[in-house]
Structure 1
C-alpha cells in the first residue's frame, strides 16, 4: 500500500510539471504550488521547505538587471557583443558561441541572447556563410552561461542546495566556467563542419529563385567565379581558390550599429561591479562579516544574503546615478521574465522538496543507490527533465536533491549539473524559434521529428563535452 501511495504522489508531481509546462509562464510555478497543496491536504505529507533564499536571490538579480535595462545598460552590453561578433566574421562560428556564453554568464539571463540573434545572422549571411552553424551553436552555448553565472536563477537554486555541503560559489564556478569554455570550443569545431555551403544548398538557392531572400554580394562574386571556371574548364580546386579570391574585390560589408542610450555604459558598469564584488566575497570569505551560528562559532555571512544585498544595492545605485524613474523598471521585459522564473522556481522547488522529504526511505534512497552505482544517470536525468520542463531552475530543484541525498560527491554533481543544456531537446524555447524565424536562408530549421532540428547536434556535443570536461576538472577542486 505504501508503494501505491508513493506512485500516486509521483503522478501528482509529474502531472503538475506537465500541466505547468503546457500552460507556460507563471503557470509552471502555480501548478507546482497546487501540486504541493494536493500532497499536503490529500496525502497528508508535511510541507517541505519553500525556497525562500533562492526566490529572493532571483528577485534581487532581476531588479538590478531591470534597472540596468531601463538605463540602457543591456543596450551597451549588446553593442559590445555586436562589435566583437562583427569584427571576426571569418571566425564567426567560434566567436559567436563564446560571446553568447560570456554575455549570458555576465547578465545572468539568456534574454540578452535574443538581441544577438539578428547580429549573428546578418554577419553570417552578408559574409556568405551558412547561418545555421553560428546561430545553432550560439543558441546552445548561451544555456551554458546559466550554469556559469553567479547571478542566474538556476545558480541561486543550486547554491542554496549545495551551500550546506560547504561547497561555495567559487567552487562551483571553478568547475562550470572552464568546462563551459571547453564545450564552446568543441561545439564550434563540430558545427563548422555541419551542412552545405550556401551556394550548394538547394533550399537557399530555391529561396533566392523565389525572391524570399537576396543572394549577398559575396556569394554573387563566388558564383561568377565558379561559372567562369566551369566555362574555361578549370579544376574544382582552382575554381574554389578563384572564388575565395573574388570575395576580396567585393565592397566591405556594412556593419550593424546598436544605439546606446546616454548613461547605458555607467549602468552596465554598476551591475558588473556588483557581480565582481559578489565573486570576490565568495573567493575570500574573510571579506564577509562573521556572526555566531547555533553552536556559538563565528560563521561568515551566507552568499545567498550577500547576493541579495549587493544586487538590490546595485539597483538603487543605478536608479540614483542614472536618475531612472522607478516605474520604468517595472515595465522592463527582464523584470517580467524574471518574475515568471521566480514563481516557477518557488512552486516547483516547494513541491519537489515536499515529495522528496516525505519519501526519503521509500523511493529516494533506492534512486540514490542507483545514481551512485551509475553516476552518469544523474546527467541523463538532468538532461531529460530539463528538456521536458524547459526550466533550468525547476530541474535543479527536482533532481539535484536526489543526488545530494544519495551522498554523491558534490564535485561530481556540479560537473554534471550543466546537463541542463537539455532545455534545447524540444524546439519549445523562444531562442530556438527566434533563430529559425530570423534565418531567411532556411539553413536553421526545425523538422517534423520534434527532437531532431538544427540545435540537436550542437546540444548533444555540448552536453557530452561540458560534462566530460567538468568531471576532469572537479578532480582538482578541493
Structure 2
C-alpha cells in the first residue's frame, strides 16, 4: 500500500507539473482525494495561516500596483541601471533582488527585464549575462523576503525548534545576496562577446534588433505614497516580530501573535493605500500580482496538503527508510530541495511539501536554513514565466534556449548562486544560531 500511495503522490505532482501554474494546486487536491477517499488515509493538515498571510500580503501589493507603486519602483531601477551602464551585470541582480525582497514576489522582475536588456545592448554587453543572473536573483530573493510565503512557512516551522523569524532573516538575506553577486561574477564571463556572436550578427543584418524607448510613463499621483505606506508596513512587521520574539522580549505575552500581526499590518496597508491614493478596489482584483498571489494560495493548499497527508501517514516508515542519512549528511537536503523545486515551480510549495518531513527526519535548523535557498531552482527547466520573458525581451538572440533543453544561460549562474548560498548559509548559521 505504501508503494501505491507514494505512486499517487508522484503522479499527482507529475500531472500538476505538466499542467503548470495553478494546476500544481489542482493536482495536489486530486491526490488528496485519491489518498483519502480512495485509499483510506487520514487527511493531513492544511497550512491555513500561510494561505491567509499570502492573501493579505498580495492584497497590499496589488493595491500598491494599482496605485502605480510598482511602476515607481521600476522607474527608480531604470535610473540606477542607466547611471552605471557598464556595471549592468552586477546592478541588474541587485535591482531584481531588492524588488523581490521588498515585494515578496519574483514577478516584479517582469517590468525591469526590458530595461536590463536595453541597457546591455547600448553598452555592447551580451544581454544574456545580466538577464540570466537578474532572473535567478529574483527567484532566490524569495527565500530572504520578510513577507514571502516561503519565508513565512519556514519561520513557522523553525519557531518550534527555538529559531526566531529575525534569526532566519539574518542568515538568509546576506547569504542569498552575496551568492547572487558571486553568480553575477560568473555570468559576466559566459558566452561570446556580443559583437562576436553569429546569431546576433545575423539578426542585426536582418533588422531584427530594435531599440526600445525609455519607460518614462506618467505615474498616478499616489504612486510614491503607496510605496511609502507599503514600506512602513514591512518595517512594522519586522519590528513587531522582533519585539515579541523570545530573544528580544520587548513585548511579553503579546495579544497579537506574529502570523496574525502580518495579516493585520498588510490589510491595514491595503486600506491606507486605498484611502490615501484614492484607488478603485475593483481594479485590485484584476492586477497581475493579485492573480499570481491567489494562484500561489491554491498551489500551497494543494501541494502542502498532499505532502502532509502522505508523510503523516507513514512517518515511522520514512524515518526507518532514511536510516539517519539526512541527519548525518544534512547537506543532501539542499539537493533534494533543488530537484523538487524544478518540478513544483514554487518556493512556497516546495517548502511546504518537504521541509516538515526534513525536520521530522532529524535535520537540524542550521542545515534547513542553509539549504533553504535550494527551493529556488525554478530556472533549471526553461519554462518559468520570468525566464521566458527574459528570452523574449532579448532580441539580440543571446538569451536563447538550446536544443538540449538544459543548455541555456540561466543554469550556470543559477547553480553557482544556490551552491554559494548554501555554503555561506552553513557558515552564518553556525555563527548566529
Indicate the TM-score class for this superposition, using the shorter chain for normalisation.
over 0.9
Question: Where do 5+ consecutive residues of structure 1 fail to align?
Answer: 217-252, 291-297
Give the match for residue 321 of structure 2: 366
Give the match for residue 306 of structure 2: 351
* Mapped pair 1:329 → 2:325: no
> Which 4+ residue blocks in structure 1 deviate beyond 4 angstroms?
253-256, 286-290
Give the match for residue 361 of structure 2: 406
Deviation at 1:299, TM superposition (A): 6.1
Distance in 2, matches of 1:202 and 1:102, equals 34
Deviations 1:216-267 (A, max 9, x none): 8xxxxxxxxxxxxxxxxxxxxxxxxxxxxxxxxxxxx985434322110100
Distance in 2, matches of 1:432 and 1:86, equals 22
Give the match for residue 116 of structure 2: 120
Deviation at 1:289, TM superposition (A): 5.7
Give the match for residue 206 of structure 1: 202
CA contact (8 A) 1:281 1:288 kept: no
Give the match for residue 246 of structure 1: none
Match runs of 1:79-90 below 5 Å: 79-90=75-86
Task: Provide the aligned C-alpha RMSD in A.
Answer: 1.8
Give the match for residue 66 of structure 2: 70
Give the match for residue 249 of structure 1: none
1:368 and 1:420, CA in 2 relative to 1: closer, same or farther beyond 3 A?
Answer: farther
Q: Secondary structure at the match of 1:475?
A: helix
Distance in 2, matches of 1:448 and 1:436, equals 15
Give the match for residue 270 of structure 1: 229
* Mapped pair 1:477 → 2:432: yes
1:425 and 1:210, CA in 2 relative to 1: closer, same or farther beyond 3 A?
Answer: same
CA contact (8 A) 2:131 2:390 kept: yes
Give the match for residue 259 of structure 2: 304
Give the match for residue 427 of structure 1: 382
Partner residue of 1:47 out of 30, 36, 43: 43
CA contact (8 A) 1:140 1:455 kept: yes
TM-score for the superposition, normalised by structure 1: 0.87
Deviations 1:47-86 (A, max 9, x none): 1111000000100000111111111111111111121122
Q: Secondary structure at the match of 2:305?
A: helix
Distance in 1, matches of 2:158 and 2:49, equals 13
* Mapped pair 1:141 → 2:100: no
Partner residue of 2:153 out of 147, 153, 157: 157
Give the match for residue 394 of structure 2: 439
TM-score for the superposition, normalised by structure 2: 0.95
Give the match for residue 268 of structure 2: 313
1:364 and 1:16, CA in 2 relative to 1: closer, same or farther beyond 3 A?
Answer: farther
Distance in 1, matches of 2:323 and 2:76, equals 45
Give the match for residue 422 of structure 2: 467
Distance in 1, matches of 2:349 and 2:213, equals 43
Distance in 2, matches of 1:429 and 1:348, equals 18
1:417 and 1:177, CA in 2 relative to 1: closer, same or farther beyond 3 A?
Answer: same
Distance in 2, matches of 1:434 and 1:279, equals 32
Deviations 1:412-449 (A, max 9, x none): 20110101221111001011111111111111110121
Query: How many residue pairs end up in the alignment?
Result: 430
